Structure 1
Amino acid sequence: MGQQVLVLIQMTYAGKTGQVVETLGIQFCFSLPLPDLAQVISLLKENSNYHVPLVVFGHMHKEMLNGGFRNMISIGSDNTIYLNAAIVPRVKPLDLGKSRAFTVVDFMDSRVTKVVETWVLVVGEGTFKEEHILFHADTEVT
């Protein structure tokens, strides 16, 4: 028998106070070579009652080599949101200091309501923030 790999998918839901409300663990055992991410998500949907609201990955850079920018959000036919969080560079040197990139995702009732690319610059006691809305529950704003 060939080599096998156990894949554990863990989903944690936090309430409005930030306290963990529920943690779910789902295990799959795969033979090598591993299936791609789409196959794993498909198996998860087939073998559980849980909707996958968000898939986060970071492989392809936002800025393309030939110029322009990649679409960072894709929405599947089942409303699963696929978020490419690869912002390169994640740190930008500025005159006042370094600005750092974060991707912030808001959820409500196990549903993604907003995805924002956020740049934060901390100078002394002050914090400066620049936001680019990538997704809002009613409108895709990429």
Structure 2
Amino acid sequence: MSNSLKTMIKIAVIGDIHDQWEKEDNQALQHLDVDLALFVGDFGNESLAVVGLIAALELPKAAILGNHDAWYTASAWGRAKSPYDHELENRVQEQLDLLGEAHVGYGKLDLPQFNLSVVGSRPFSWGGQDWKNKEFLNELYGITNFQQSTAKIVAQAQDAAYDTLIFVGHNGPLGLGEEPHSICGQDWPPLGGDHGDPDFSEALTLSRQLGKTISLVTFGHMHHRLRHTQAYLRTMVETDPYGTVYLNAASVPRIKEENGEKLRNFSFVSLEEGKVTQIELVWVGEDFRIVSRQPLYQDAAKIPQAV
């Protein structure tokens, strides 16, 4: 791709992978002419193999690590179950090293070819309004509470080279609904409640006050399949009065077999001059053709009007 400014871009958002990523996924993104890939975390339980494949993807990309990406490190409970010796290995740091500047948790990535910046929220999030894994986040980032976390996210937004921003989180922001099926709603007993991240929500508010335009906020963690019912799925897309589109991309499992064929899913976002115009969840077959499309969002201005 040339360095000239591209005003219409195709973004692939990849939800919670949970070890379901193969070299064919890299090839599919290349074959489908994706301009930018966004990964919302939970690659596996500290899966260096998966993260290594994603790090090798030859496309502009941004990623954030999720709670499973520090599964054996972030808590005493996890370390007690660890299959490796933490005195000899630090797989969390190895993942960060593999991703390099592509990891935007508490960071940002400027993309001059698209005239936008990607900003990351708090990495390794479990979601909700309890400050979890205190020692881990303090040791890694020097962050001890939601207020400090908000400030660190906002500092990255302020330092971003461009006024049009995409935010990437593992879990979504607080304030998008309290029903079990809400985009970040609690779907386990007691049913209901907003499980969004309060620091993420406050960071979005403060970033707008800096004069930034937030086109897209994307995340995962809260799987589309609900725990309490199979009758329907979680809400996948929301919008707000500021024109921001929120996408939960956690379609799990992201690889399945159907009629003897392996299918893999991606959420495709169309961005035109900094505005989200369309989102669809697609399933891609073994020859990289799109075998199904599920429309999730269409900008009203782009819908043909009846005459």
Q: TM-score range by the shorter chain?
A: 0.7 to 0.9
Deviation sequence 1:33-83 (CA, Å, 0-9, x none):
124210111121112x22101000002111212121111001012111110
- TM-score normalised to the size of structure 1? 0.74
Is 1:96 aligned to residue 260 of structure 2?
yes
Structure 1 vs Structure 2 CA RMSD: 2.7
- Unaligned runs of 5+ residues in structure 2 are 1-104, 121-141, 151-198, 302-307
Structure (1 or 2) with the greater helix fraction: 2
Matched residues in 2 for 1:94 and 1:24: separation? Answer: 38
Higher normalized contact order (CA 8 Å, seq sep 6+, divided by chain length)? 2
C-alpha deviations, 1:18-45, integer Å up to 9, x for none? xx14354779xx9531242101111211
Q: Number of aligned pairs?
A: 124
The structural deviation recorded for 1:8 is 2.6
Pick from 209, 213, 217 the counterpart of residue 55 of structure 1. 217
Quick one: percent identity of the two aligned structures?
A: 24
Conserved 8 A contact 2:116-2:274: no
Distance 2:116 2:260 in 1: 41
- Residue of 288, 293, 297 corresponding to 1:135: 297
* C-alpha spacing 1:11/1:42, structure 2 compared with 1 (3 Å): farther
Q: With the length of structure 2 as denominator, give the TM-score of the two structures.
A: 0.36
| 1:7 equivalent among 93, 98, 106 | 106
2:208 is matched with which residue? 45
Deviation at 1:122, TM superposition (A): 1.6
Name the structure where strand makes up a greater proportion of residues.
Answer: 1
User: Unaligned stretches of 5+ in structure 1?
Assistant: 1-5, 14-19
